[in-house]
Structure 1
Amino acid sequence: MALIHPDSVHSPYYNPNATAYDLVERAIDGSFARIRSLSKRVAGPNDLAFRAGLIADNRGVAFLVKISVGTPPAQQLLLIDTGSDLFWFQCEPCISCFKQSLPIFDPAKSSSYSNILCNSIACDISTRECDSDKKYCTYSYTYLDGAGTRGNLASENVTFETSDEGTIVIPIRMVGCGHENSGSIDGQQTGILGLSHNLSFIQQVGSKFSICIGNVHDLQYQYNQLVIGDDSVLEGNSTTLDVYGGHYYVNLQGISVGETRLKIDPGAFKRAPSGQGGVALDSGSGLTWLKGDGYVPLQNEVQRLLDPRLRRVKYGRHIEFLCYEGTVQKDLQEFPVVTFYFEDGAELILDVDNMFLQIKPNMFCMTVVQSDPKFQGLSLIGVLAQQYHNIGYDIPGKKLFIQRIDCRLLD
C-alpha cells in the first residue's frame, strides 16, 4: 500500500495554503502529545481493553493508507499507527462522528459484514463487552489525549492493492465498526489501521510488515509504502525485536556522532521488568525522544560542534529543544552523521535531515529531544529519524530489519 503523507500533494485533501512552518508546528505539538499518551500506557499497559496513545486528530508526522472494506468495496483512508492495536473505521448509524470527506461506511450495505456475537470465543478473548441486548460484542477504545471510538466488533472483507497493481480480498475476523467517535479535526482519515501486535489484524495476515519512508518534507514524494505479509521487505541488518504492551522495542546500545562514540551507560536504554524505560519505534511521533542518560551526551556533543560558530536560541514554549539561529542547508553542510547502534549490529543512520528540523526561516532545532522523567523512562524513535529507511518487522522471528534506502528502489 502506498503511504500518503497528509500534507503532501498526493493527499486528496491537500491544503496548498498551509505553510511549511505551519506543518512543522503541527508535527512538534503532535509529538509532545504522543509521548505523553504512550508513556501513560507503559505505566499500566493492562489498565483497559484497547487503551493506547493515539493522536487521532492526525497532528504531527503521520501517514495514511487507502484500502477498501466490505462487499461491494467502500474506500477508506486510514491512519497507520504502530502503537495502536485496533483496525477500525467510522460506521453508520453514526451516533457521533468526526468529519470525513469520504462517505461513512454503512454495514447494512455490505454482504460480507457480520457482527461478532457476544457468546463467541472472539469476544471472550478480546473485550468481553456486549451491547445492551447482550447479543453483539462491542468495544470502547479510550485514548489518553481525549479522543476515542466506540462501536461493534465485526468480521469483514478488506480489499488491498497488490504489487502488480491488482487487488486481493482478505477476510478480517476482527475490525471495529465505530458508531461514536471523536478526535479527528482535519477531515482526512476515516479510521485507524492499528499495526501493534495485540489483537490487531497484523496477527491475521502473517505477522510481518515493513514501512519505507522517504523525505517527509518532500510533498511531491510518492514512494512511501507499507507492505504487509510475506512480501514484506525484510532486508539489511537485523536486531532483536521485543513486543511488550503493544510497543515494538529494540535494544539501543550506543550512539556516535561522526567518529566519536558517546559515553553512555549501557543500561540507559534498558526496559525494566516493570515495563518502564526501553526504546520503542513509533510511526505516530515525528520527534525522537531519549531518556536523559542517553540524551545529555548527544546534546553535549552537538553543542560542542555548533556552539563556537552559531548562536543558540529558544523555541517558544518548547524549552527542551536544542535550537540555533541559521538554516540547515547553509550552516550544517559539514555536520557529521549520527549513528544509533542496536544489538546484533543493526544501525540507524541519521544525516542532517534526520537530525535537524527547520522550525522557522532562520531557526533550526535538533529533532532528538529529552524525554521527561514523568514519561516513565520511555524513549521513542520517531518518523523523522526513520526517514530514508525501510524498517521491516518480523514478529514471529523477533527481528527488526533496518535498511537505509530510497523507497523508490523497492518498486
Structure 2
Amino acid sequence: MAPTTTSPLIITLFLLFSISLKSHCFKITTQLIHRDSYFSPLYNATATTADRPARIIEATLARYVQLISSYDDRPLAVDIVAPGIWGIRFNIFYVNFSIGDPPVPQLAVMDTSSDLLWVKCPPCSPWGWPWSPKHCKYKIDYAGGHSSEGVYATEQLTFQTSNNGFVTTIPKAFFDCSSKQSGSEGLDPHVNGVLGLMAGAGGDDFPDGQFPLVTRLGTSFSYCVGSLSDRYYPHSHLSFGDAVDLIGGSTPLYLEEGRYFVHLSDISLGGKMLDIKKEVFTKMALRKKIEMDSGSELFLLYTEAFEVLKEEIERLAFWELMTPVLSPPSPLELCYKGMVEKEARGFPAMGIRFVGGVELVVDRFGVFFQVKDDVFCLAIVRSKGVSVIGMMVQQGYNVGYDLKAMTVDQASFGDRKVHHA
C-alpha cells in the first residue's frame, strides 16, 4: 500500500480564479457525449434506424448479466468486484478529459457503478507514484472474466468545461494506470477507460489517504440528459463539486454493495396508480435491488410490478388504436406498428414515484422507442432480479446525487428538453 499523500488538492480555474477545495464553492461542468451522437468519435453516419435499437437490446442483456452475476455468489476470482461496466462498446455516455502536462486526451465511460477512474496507459508511462510500483499495483475484475490491471498513479487532470474556452485542472489527481486489459477485443480504440462516480471513503481499493475522484472533488454530482434519440442534441452534461445544482424533489439514496439504490413507492399511467401490491415494492427495497444506473438505457422492472404495468399498457394501447406486432424481439414484450411520434401521440405519461414523493414523469419517448422504421416497442424490460432505473426514463431531467445528505434530487429541465413533434 502506498504512503499517504500529504499534498493538498487545489482546483485552479483558468481564465477565472483559483480556489481551494476547502472553499466548498466550485463546480466542474463538462459535456456528456452520447455514444450514438454526431459529437461522438464512435458516431456511425451509415447506421440504420434498426442498428441503434439492436445495440440497446444487446447492451441491456449484457448489463443485466453483469448485474446479476455481481449479486450471485458465483466464483469470479476477484481482487476487487466492480460489476457495472466493461462492455465499453455498449455504453451510453462518455466524458472527455486530459491527463498530464502537456495534456494527453482521454475518452472514458461515465459509470455510476464504479468508484475508480482508470485509463489505458502506454508501456513505461511517466504517470505514476514516486515509489516502487510493487507497492501500488491494482487489479479490477468484471463479470464475464474481463479485467483491468496496472498501477496507481497521480497526475494532472484537465477538463474542458461546457462553456467553450474554460479549462479546469486538478493537479496530482489519483487514478489507475492500466497496462493490461483482458477481454477487450473489439473495443473502439477511441475509448480509453472508465470515469467512476461511485462515492466511497477509501479502503482496500485505494492506497492510504486516497479516495474516489467524485469524493475528493466535493459532496455531490449531477447529470442532465436530453433526447437520447436526437443525435444532434449538444446540451447533455455532467457536473461535480460542492456547488452542483441540487434542485427539485428528493428521495433517499442508499449506497450498498458498490451501487446507488433508491426505493420505489408507486407507478402510474395517465395519473392512475397501478394496482401493484405494496409488498412488491417492499420486497424490492429489502433486497436492495432498485438501482440508479448510468450504464443501462432501458428500464428493468421486477417481474411482479412489470406484469401489472404491461397489462395496463396493453389496455391503453387498445384504446389508442395501436396495432400490436406479433413475436417482438427478445427481451422486449410489447411492440406496435408505426412511429412513436404518430401512433403513440395520445398515450399518457408514466409516473415513477419514489419514497418521499418525488416522481419521474416519463412521456411516450421514454415509455417506447423506435426499433425499425415502422415498429416501436416498450422500453421497459422484465427482470427476475435487480430493477434498474435506466437513462431512457431519465431524459429531460437534472438528476443530482447529494453524497452528504444521501439523497437523489430530480427536476425536469423544461425548455432545455428536446420537444418532439
Deviates further, 207-216 or 300-309 = 300-309
What is the alpha-carbon distance in structure 2 between the residues aligned to residue 177 and residue 61 of structure 1? Answer: 21
Query: After superposition, what is the alpha-carbon deviation per residue over 1:109-141, rounded to whole angstroms, capped at 9, x for unaligned?
Result: xxxx333757xxxxxxxxxxxx6xxx3311111
2:63 to 24, 29, 34: 34
Deviates further, 285-294 or 152-161 = 152-161
2:117 paired residue number: 87
Give the C-alpha shift of residue 206 in structure 1: 0.9
1:177 to 2:177 alignment:
yes
1:312 to 2:324 alignment:
yes
Secondary structure in 1 matching 2:50: helix
Tell whether the 8 Å contact from 2:85 to 2:111 is kept in structure 1 after alignment: no
Query: Size of the alignment, in residue pairs?
Result: 373
2:41 to 2, 9, 12: 12
Tell me which amino acid in the other structure corresponds to 1:400. V
What is the alpha-carbon distance in structure 2 between the residues aligned to residue 36 and residue 239 of structure 1? Answer: 27
Give the C-alpha shift of residue 35 in structure 1: 1.6
What is the alpha-carbon distance in structure 2 between the residues aligned to residue 245 and residue 282 of structure 1? Answer: 14
2:241 to 216, 229, 240: 229
Deviates further, 53-62 or 40-49 = 40-49
Query: After superposition, what is the alpha-carbon deviation per residue over 1:42-84, rounded to whole angstroms, capped at 9, x for unaligned?
Result: 3359984432234433344511111111122211111101112
2:230 to 211, 215, 218: 218
Judging changes above 3 Å, is the alpha-carbon distance between structure 1 residues 180 and 347 closer, same or farther for their aligned structure 2 residues?
same
Tell me which amino acid in the other structure corresponds to 1:391. V
Tell me which amino acid in the other structure corresponds to 1:210. S
What is the alpha-carbon distance in structure 2 between the residues aligned to residue 280 and residue 116 of structure 1? Answer: 39
1:114 to 2:128 alignment:
yes
1:24 to 37, 49, 53: 53
Tell whether the 8 Å contact from 1:116 to 1:155 is kept in structure 2 after alignment: no
2:291 paired residue number: 280
Deviates further, 4-13 or 212-221 = 4-13
1:342 to 2:354 alignment:
yes
Give the C-alpha shift of residue 351 in structure 1: 0.2
Deviates further, 179-188 or 390-399 = 179-188
Give the C-alpha shift of residue 172 in structure 1: 5.3
Deviates further, 329-338 or 65-74 = 65-74
* Alignment root-mean-square deviation, CA: 2.4
Secondary structure in 2 matching 1:263: coil
Tell me which amino acid in the other structure corresponds to 2:129. N
Secondary structure in 2 matching 1:178: strand
Tell me which amino acid in the other structure corresponds to 2:142. Y
Secondary structure in 1 matching 2:113: coil
Gaps of 5+ in 1: 94-105, 119-130
1:192 to 2:203 alignment:
no
What is the alpha-carbon distance in structure 1 between the residues aligned to residue 268 and residue 363 of structure 2? Answer: 12
Judging changes above 3 Å, is the alpha-carbon distance between structure 1 residues 71 and 205 closer, same or farther for their aligned structure 2 residues?
same
What is the alpha-carbon distance in structure 1 between the residues aligned to residue 414 and residue 40 of structure 2? Answer: 21
Judging changes above 3 Å, is the alpha-carbon distance between structure 1 residues 334 and 186 closer, same or farther for their aligned structure 2 residues?
same
Tell me which amino acid in the other structure corresponds to 1:195. L
Judging changes above 3 Å, is the alpha-carbon distance between structure 1 residues 179 and 321 closer, same or farther for their aligned structure 2 residues?
same
Give the C-alpha shift of residue 264 in structure 1: 1.3
What is the alpha-carbon distance in structure 2 between the residues aligned to residue 272 and residue 321 of structure 1? Answer: 22
Gaps of 5+ in 2: 1-29, 203-211
1:124 paired residue number: none
Query: After superposition, what is the alpha-carbon deviation per residue over 1:351-377, rounded to whole angstroms, capped at 9, x for unaligned?
Result: 0001101111221111111102xxxx3
Query: After superposition, what is the alpha-carbon deviation per residue over 1:137-172, rounded to whole angstroms, capped at 9, x for unaligned?
Result: 111111113432111112222112346542222145
Secondary structure in 2 matching 1:312: coil
Query: After superposition, what is the alpha-carbon deviation per residue over 1:84-120, rounded to whole angstroms, capped at 9, x for unaligned?
Result: 2210000011xxxxxxxxxxxx732xxxx333757xx
Deviates further, 48-57 or 218-227 = 48-57
Give the C-alpha shift of residue 271 in structure 1: 6.3
Secondary structure in 2 matching 1:159: strand
What is the alpha-carbon distance in structure 2 between the residues aligned to residue 236 and residue 43 of structure 1? Answer: 36
1:67 paired residue number: 97
What is the alpha-carbon distance in structure 1 between the residues aligned to residue 172 and residue 330 of structure 2? Answer: 42
Give the C-alpha shift of residue 276 in structure 1: 3.3
TM, length-normalised to structure 1: 0.84
Give the C-alpha shift of residue 38 in structure 1: 1.4
What is the alpha-carbon distance in structure 1 between the residues aligned to residue 80 and residue 219 of structure 2? Answer: 19
Give the C-alpha shift of residue 406 in structure 1: 4.7
What is the alpha-carbon distance in structure 1 between the residues aligned to residue 166 and residue 149 of structure 2? Answer: 33
2:264 paired residue number: 252
Tell me which amino acid in the other structure corresponds to 2:389. I
Tell whether the 8 Å contact from 1:116 to 1:136 is kept in structure 2 after alignment: no
1:265 to 2:277 alignment:
yes
Tell me which amino acid in the other structure corresponds to 1:174. F
1:52 to 2:82 alignment:
yes
2:166 paired residue number: 166
2:310 paired residue number: 299
Tell me which amino acid in the other structure corresponds to 2:338. G
Tell whether the 8 Å contact from 1:43 to 1:276 is kept in structure 2 after alignment: no
Tell whether the 8 Å contact from 1:115 to 1:136 is kept in structure 2 after alignment: no
Give the C-alpha shift of residue 36 in structure 1: 1.5
Tell me which amino acid in the other structure corresponds to 2:237. Q
Tell me which amino acid in the other structure corresponds to 1:329. E
1:401 to 2:409 alignment:
yes
1:99 paired residue number: none
What is the alpha-carbon distance in structure 2 between the residues aligned to residue 107 and residue 59 of structure 1? Answer: 25
TM, length-normalised to structure 2: 0.82
What is the alpha-carbon distance in structure 2 between the residues aligned to residue 77 and residue 136 of structure 1? Answer: 28
State the identity as a percent. Answer: 33
1:98 paired residue number: none
Tell me which amino acid in the other structure corresponds to 1:177. C
1:328 to 336, 340, 343: 340
